[in-house]
Amino acid sequence: MMETRTDEIADGIFRISVFVPDIAPPAGFTFNQFLILGDDPLLFHTGLRKMFPLYCEAVRRLVPLDRLRWISFGHFEADECGAMNEWLAAAPNAELAHGQTGCLVSVTDMADRPPRILGDGEVVDLGRGKRVRYIDTPHTPHGWDAGLMIEESTGTLLCGDLFTQLGDGPALTDGDIVGPAILAEDIFRYSSLNPDMGLTIRGLAGHAPRTLALMHGPSFSGDGPAALRALADEYDRKAAATVSSRPASMSR
């Protein structure tokens, strides 16, 4: 029987976590949604369509569903946005918000109500001091349409699949999140290694996050820019090693 676990990981920002022991056993794997409270609450990640009842119940404990205003996510994939239409049906005042590429390529067609299209760097004011900035991160860690959000008053970067790790850790940690992320990358190979990946991740460090909210893993409190730069270095090494391991005949 799967259950949700809810923790406040930064002021007014709640992590709703489901642990699935059957994925990558024996460690298991978490799927996390984040609810940012404000006059206009925002949910980041809809969760899998088939887990909708679980998440819906957990969100309802924090905010009446008719007050939910925004539903956003990192890229078009089942765990990120599979339940978007279930949410739109349950939350009559909610609107999807996502980047230009994702809206034009997938969301506008797949969603039951038209999304709000966010430009790179665009800010949405949620009221009560909360404001989220949308940042394009194409192909990082995967998906042409990939993007993230940072809540600027708390410095909370909603990292999506970046730093994905196995296991059911604490809700919030100040320990190492780079080592476990490299381990999970080597097992799943989920990232689309590309020459701009390090640059894209280092760009996120420029927003000076103090909390990193991982979709798959604990949230991290501490030196966010240092963790992002270490992850960027690792991906630069992996991308370079992949290219240099190709026989010369393949690169012609």
Name the site residues for Fe ion (rule: CB under 5 A).
Answer: 77, 79, 161, 215
SS3 66: helix
Please, what is the minimum distance in Å from the beta carbon of residue 72 to Fe ion? 14
Please, what is the minimum distance in Å from the beta carbon of residue 80 to Fe ion? 6
Task: Indicate the burial class of 140 (C-beta count within 10 angstroms; 0-12, 13-18, 19 or more).
Answer: buried
In terms of CB distance, is 69 or 139 closer to Fe ion?
139
CA distance 70 to 95: 5
Please, what is the minimum distance in Å from the beta carbon of residue 75 to Fe ion? 6
Task: Indicate the burial class of 120 (C-beta count within 10 angstroms; 0-12, 13-18, 19 or more).
Answer: middle
Amino acid at 6: T
Q: Residue 45 contacts by C-beta under 8 Å, 6 or more apart in sequence? A: 31, 32, 33, 34, 73, 74, 79, 80, 81, 160, 215
CB 137 within 8 A of CB 148: yes
Residue 235, sorted as left (phi over 0), alpha (psi -120 to 50) or beta, turns out to be: alpha
Please, what is the minimum distance in Å from the beta carbon of residue 162 to Fe ion? 10
Please, what is the minimum distance in Å from the beta carbon of residue 81 to Fe ion? 10
Length of the chain: 252
In terms of CB distance, is 130 or 149 closer to Fe ion?
149
In terms of CB distance, is 54 or 215 closer to Fe ion?
215
In terms of CB distance, is 38 or 164 closer to Fe ion?
164
Q: How far are the Cα atoms of 66, 101, 121 from residue 213, in angstroms, in the given order?
A: 25, 23, 19
Please, what is the minimum distance in Å from the beta carbon of residue 127 to Fe ion? 28
In terms of CB distance, is 161 or 234 closer to Fe ion?
161
In terms of CB distance, is 38 or 74 closer to Fe ion?
74
